[in-house]
Chain A
Amino acid sequence: MNRYVMYNFVMVSLLNLMLFVPNILFQYRYHGAVSSLIAAAVIGPLFGIVFIRTITKYPGKGVPEILNENYPRWVTVPAFLFFALMWFSAASITVDAYAVLINRFFNPDANVLVILGVMCVICLYAATRSTLSMLFIMEIMLLLNVPLIVMLLVKAGGSDQMNWDAIRTASNYVQSMPKLAPLAAATFIFTGYLNLSIYNRVLPPNYKFKRGYLLPVFGIGVLATTYFIPIGLHGIDGVSSYLYVWSATSDSLAMEYGFIERVLFVFLILYLNLTLIYTASGWHQAMEMIKSCFPKYKPSIDEHPVPRSNYVIVSVFAVITVAALYLLNEKHLTEFTSYWLIIRMFSEYGLVIWIVVHTLLRRGAA
């Protein structure tokens, strides 16, 4: 079952491009992005491993059950609603951003809301399935997509247009201190472990977390790729002018002897899959959080048939997502995301510390 933990981690770390993480890092490229990357590479895996080791001590229980058993409702319900909001908004930002991307690159004449609507229907169907099915969907999608994504990243890194002097220049700005916004953006890469707060329900009782070193190794790899490859291809001074910096980066690569010369389209399709699965997973977790607010709710990992409440909650999510894109423009979306990333960092580490301290106190009392 170890691989299901890793899937969550890999999915979220690869998805950072859709949440404008590179854009925020490039904004601070002269003012602390590199040192933020280093700080994130320490903080991220540390919290990740501590959290996974702690939560797996509660077999079959998610964060809602752990907290509900020990704290009064008036503490837990607002916390769950808040976490639901965090997961839901991340997923919705991603799918909104992707709808805009489709509109820009695939079909500029189509109505962006219709595109988003279709994507939302797919995510609605996937997110309302049971927790177990959700993990299986995730496994299949990642197995299909990640090898190609990694191939593209390696191809980008080995491109002969890569200017290593620009990358060295970028890393020379290491001496400025880390800043909050780039740190929040960089730590997002490691945030996948937090999905266990729901998915821990599925892990078997005898589960033991193994190969924890993969977290820092993979995370730092993704972090370095995300930051340095666009700088190598677009230059340190010019990289921040691109809005969709990784789309531009994949468009800078050519596969002369591939079926499609423009790597951009391969890249967009791969990220479409990744976005859909991330959104479905995010909505599913937000839905489970909201359902945990009801006193009578009994979590089950493979319920059949799908309860009506699932459809109601996720439909509300979908409607809010479409409405958000209708009301906001691209600039609002980016600004909102940078605030979201900062709040996410604090709430994520708050939750980790809460669970860890709770566990330590309980062990001390016992």
Chain B
Amino acid sequence: MRRFCTACVAFIMLSLLMQGCGFKDIDKRFFVVAAGIDRTSNADKPYRITLRLAIPSPKAEPGASKSQLESIDTATIAEGVRLLKGHVDKEIDFGHCKVIVLGESLVQSDYVEALTWMIRRRDIQSIATVAVGKPSAEDVMNANPPSERYPGNSLFLSFGTEGTDSPFTLQMFLFDLERRYTERGLDPFLPVIKRDHMTYMISKVAFLDKQKVKLTLSNEETQMYNQLSTQFKKSSIMATYKGKPIVALLTGIHRSYRIIEQNGQAVIRMKVRLRCILEQAPRGLYNSDWRQIEKAFSDQYSTKAETMLDKIRNTGVDPFGFGLRYRAMHRGSDATWNRWVKLYPNAKFEVRTSVKIDGTGLIK
């Protein structure tokens, strides 16, 4: 027992040594809820850092969120963040930074340095969402949506499945961006956030190579990319049938593809199976032959998908990971990858879609 007491006393003594080390009270901290990084035209100070700092508030009701915006031009990102500490009275903490916005100017020149900084820093979450800010990250940071319950939450609720489930909003996690930056045969994409007065508009996706942005898709193409790459179900398809537009809501989606080599050319055969319910269509379709509507949907979907895939291939990026699939199917060596580098620019896409209509909704 005496020995046990001695051990306890020794332990308490050691714990006393810990006093005052690092622990700061929560009200002495400023939590960064969103960070923005832009490229400036000034060669001496090429980065503009914008941080959205949450102001703790006793109320948590829509519109009660308060935040402070701090911005600085700087030579390096790390120094800039440290310099910003001089602007505020509390310790800046990135532990709750859930969204990082890279300005359009940054991703159009070179995003690698910013990515390396984020992934190297220990307190930035690997599950933070990365996005492109248009026209600039600072501008996106400035938006202050009236519906926010607590600072920054409308920005990160837009992503993921917790809040809205938009088929136009893709999500890119920081660790995924790092993976796609390093992986041969899989390229990064980033959702594009556009400021729309007080709120945000996230409806496009940008494709990047290992250095900068190469292509931005339109809204419709973004939805199709989301369907084809992540098999996103809560989305719709559109077709023209007898001169009239029909929109159908997806109830099931299944996509698979194979890469075949024919006479020195890579052919990517993609099979898409869709099930849907009509959402917007002329009256009286119930009694017509559904197979024709299904065929119209299938043919038009295939054509659009092939056009989109060709467009992506022509810019030389590979966000689907066809290259990685090719590496997965062939012998592990650098020769495999070098062969794919030659194959991909001339790859041919054959999309076969089969659409099945489950019903016409509540009316005939």
Contacts and interface: CB of A to CB of B under 8 A. Distances in A.
Interface of A: 30, 104-105, 107-111, 114, 117-118, 121-122, 125, 161, 163-166, 168-175, 233-238, 241, 248, 251-254, 256, 261-262, 264, 305-306
A168 B127 contact: no
Interface stretch (B33-41, B45-53, B147-155, B319-327): B319-327
Contact of A109 (B21, B178, B332): B21
A306 B3 contact: yes
B175 A248 contact: yes
Interface string B183-217: 11010000000000000000000000000000000
B179 interface: yes
B173 A161 contact: yes
B166 interface: no
Contacts of B186: 163, 165-166, 235
A343 B285 CA distance: 77
Given A110-B21, A252-B173, A125 B7 contact: yes
Nearest to B10: A121
B21 A111 contact: yes
B79 interface: no
Given A121-B7, A121-B14, A252-B175, 5 more contacts: A118-B18, A161-B176, A165-B327, A166-B324, A238-B183
Contacts of A236: 183
A236 to B, nearest CB: 7
B181 interface: yes
A251 B328 contact: no
Contacts of B3: 305-306
Interface string B1-30: 001000100110011011001110000000
B21 A114 contact: yes
B175 A234 contact: yes
A104 B121 CA distance: 10
- Nearest first, the 9 A-B pairs at minimum CB distance are A109-B22, A238-B182, A172-B332, A173-B332, A168-B328, A235-B183, A235-B179, A251-B126, A110-B21
Contact of B182 (A105, A109, A241, A254): A241
| Contact count band on B | 35 or more
B328 A237 contact: no
B125 interface: yes
A257 to B, nearest CB: 9
Contacts of B162: 256
Nearest to A111: B21
Contact of A114 (B10, B17, B181, B182): B17
A252 B180 CA distance: 14
Nearest to A248: B126
Nearest to A164: B328
Contacts of B321: 163, 165
B244 interface: no
A238 B127 contact: no
Interface string B143-182: 0000000000000000010100000000001011011111
Contacts of B178: 234, 238
Nearest to B325: A165
Given A163-B321, A172-B330, A105 B175 contact: no
Nearest to B179: A235
A253 to B, nearest CB: 7
B22 A237 contact: no
A171 to B, nearest CB: 8
Interface in B98-145: 122, 125-127
B281 to A, nearest CB: 33
